[in-house]
Amino acid sequence: MKLALFTLALFSPAVEAILPPTLPSWEPTYDMSLSTLTMQCNGSGWSDPTRGAEFGVVSYDWSNAKSQWAMSQPMDCEERLIQQASMTKAANPNTHSWVYRNVVKALPWFTSVREILDDPAYSGFFLKFDPDVDAAVPRCAPENQTKCSIFYHDQMQTPAVPTPDNPNPDGSCPETGCNSGLNPTGEYLFDHRNSSLLPWLLEKHILSETAIGHPDVDGMFMDDYWCSNLVCSSVPTTPGCPCSDPVQGATEVDANQQKDMGLSDEDIRDLYYAWDANMQAIQQAIVDNGAYTWSLMAGQGNANAMPDLLTKNNCATKLRAACSSTSEWQTESKLFGLTVEDNEPSQLEEDVAFFLLARGDYAWLGWGTWGMTWPFNPSPAHGELPPLPNGVPRPEMIDRDFGKPVDTDGFCQEDQDGVFTREWTSGTVELDCNNFVGSVPTVAGGMRG
């Protein structure tokens, strides 16, 4: 446990898990069209690349094209994410295409993970079942009782062969069985205490040709985190505390994981610190290689994906905080959301005005729900309107060419109590927080595409 002691000494009593918010190394843009972001997933096929190419950042989820990759022999989620990123780049080279990664769970539908899970030389990279415990999750594939693994895995978000009891699994494999290599298809877990794991993750999973080493990939959403009750009780402000997703250990994994792996509370603490140290190294390597990851934005640590939303009640407080050169709104990268009701932006001009008033160099606006997935799929008919075959279109306002903030004024100003303005090259942006009325310059579209 040398590594864990070392990280303990270095990072305890750490309040920040993972790296503090860090800016991307790429040039900032004030182009409104390119200052937008979405996380996309079409489980039944490719995500429409022309729609993805409307955004400044589009991050493709692991479940994208799952109907196809779950049937592949073997599964090829990793390659399909790259293909989706390339299709998007071909449609708009200015769009930043991101792919999904998980370094908590070892997901064997990613080729790079499958290859080492199948190779006994790498067995030290994975957590194992306690051989003396009657585990709550099966060690063998549901469809093949002789295809078993010593490595701990659950089947929570896992493709499976459809059965009468489970006709709609999270991805359908062929009748002949799921093929993610020699081990059953499931969610395995990396053992971050093994010091050889980090170099492998960096070289083969993060900076590789199927990740940010690919010319069409500019970043990644990194899912899940470790949580330890011992860490939470000694430093309650640690992000993720108290552990509740659903229990201490790896997040979004079966609730009996600790017992099934025979891990002590101290083991979980060591795994937490080892993961935390590796995540910092990974995040730093991503930025050093010209790419970016979601968790480096302010407020987005630990696989969060929720933008800041404006309300009438928080309007003045947020803007008073934002209107200074030293505020985190200016110095860090931030996610803003359009408030939505019934699948439509419900306070568009106020939200866009807020974005233009509060934003710094690195800021993105998107669909204001957790995950920020802009609806690309047909939306249901409402009122007199016919259904929209390509989902909810981008409102014209988020593709206007507002220019840039005017340097002499710098940041937003509170002109009268509760009324905020900021000068842009295209005109004045105003948000009256008392009456909750925004106004932005009326100008033509920007330079997207």
Ligand X SMILES: *[C@@H]1O[C@H](CO)[C@@H](O)[C@H](O)[C@H]1NC(C)=O
Q: Which is nearer to ligand X, 226 or 411 (CB)?
A: 226
Query: Interface with ligand X includes 88 (CB under 6 A)?
Result: no
Q: How far is CA 26 from the centre of its chain?
A: 19
| Contact string 110-139 vs ligand X (x = CB under 6 A) | -----------xxxxx--------------
Among 20, 45, 199, 215, binds ligand X (CB under 6 A): 45
Cβ nearer to ligand X, comparing 118 with 349: 118
d(CA 236, CA 15): 8
- Give the shortest CB-182-to-ligand X separation in angstroms: 6
Binding test (CB under 6 A) with ligand X, winner from 50, 73, 196, 284 = 196
Q: Answer yes or no whether residue 48 interacts with ligand X by CB under 6 A.
A: yes
Among 146, 408, 416, 442, binds ligand X (CB under 6 A): 146
Stretch that binds ligand X, among 31-39, 46-54, 166-174, 409-417 (CB under 6 A): 46-54
d(CA 258, CA 180): 25
| Total interface residues for ligand X by CB under 6 A | 20
Q: From the CB of 288, what's the least distance to ligand X, in Å?
A: 25
Binding window for ligand X (CB under 6 A); candidates: 44-52, 89-97, 273-281, 283-291: 44-52
Judge contact between 206 and 101, C-beta under 8 A. yes
Strand ranges for 103-254 from DSSP E: 105-106, 140-141, 144-148, 153-154, 187-189, 219-223, 226-227, 249-250
Please say whether the dihedral angle defined by the alpha carbons of residues 361, 367, 370 and 371, taken in this order, is positive or negative. negative
Phi, psi torsion values for 366, nearest 5 degrees: -155, -170
Question: Closest by alpha carbon to 402, among 357, 347, 364, 445?
Answer: 445
Tell me the per-residue interface mask from 281 to 320 with ligand X, x by CB under 6 A, - otherwise.
Answer: ----------------------------------------
Min dist CB 331 to ligand X, Å, is 36
Distance (Å) of CA 150 to CA 120, 123, 126, 128, 335: 11, 9, 10, 6, 41
Please provide residue 145's backbone torsions phi and psi, each rounded to the nearest 5 degrees.
-70, -5
User: Which CB, 193 or 400, lies closer to ligand X?
Assistant: 193
Comparison of 147 and 320: residue with beta carbon closer to ligand X: 147
Q: What's the min distance (Å) between Cβ of 180 and ligand X?
A: 12
29 binds ligand X (CB under 6 A): no
Q: Token match 């201490």: residue?
A: 248
Work out how close the CB of 48 gets to ligand X at its nearest, in angstroms, rounded to a whole number: 4
Of 71 and 419, CB closest to ligand X: 71
Residue 152 near residue 142, CB atoms below 8 Å: no
Pairing between strand 249-250 and 226-227? antiparallel
Residues 172-191 that bind ligand X (CB under 6 A): 177
Q: Give bridge partners of residue 221 from the DSSP assignment.
A: 100
Contacts (CB under 6 A) with ligand X, residues 364-393: 376-377, 391
What is the DSSP code string of 349-415? HHHHHHHHHH--SSEEEEESSTT-----SPBPPBTTBPPBTTSSPPPGGGGB----B-TTT-S-EEE
Q: Footprint of ligand X on this chain (CB under 6 A)? A: 42, 44-48, 121-125, 144, 146-147, 177, 194, 196, 376-377, 391
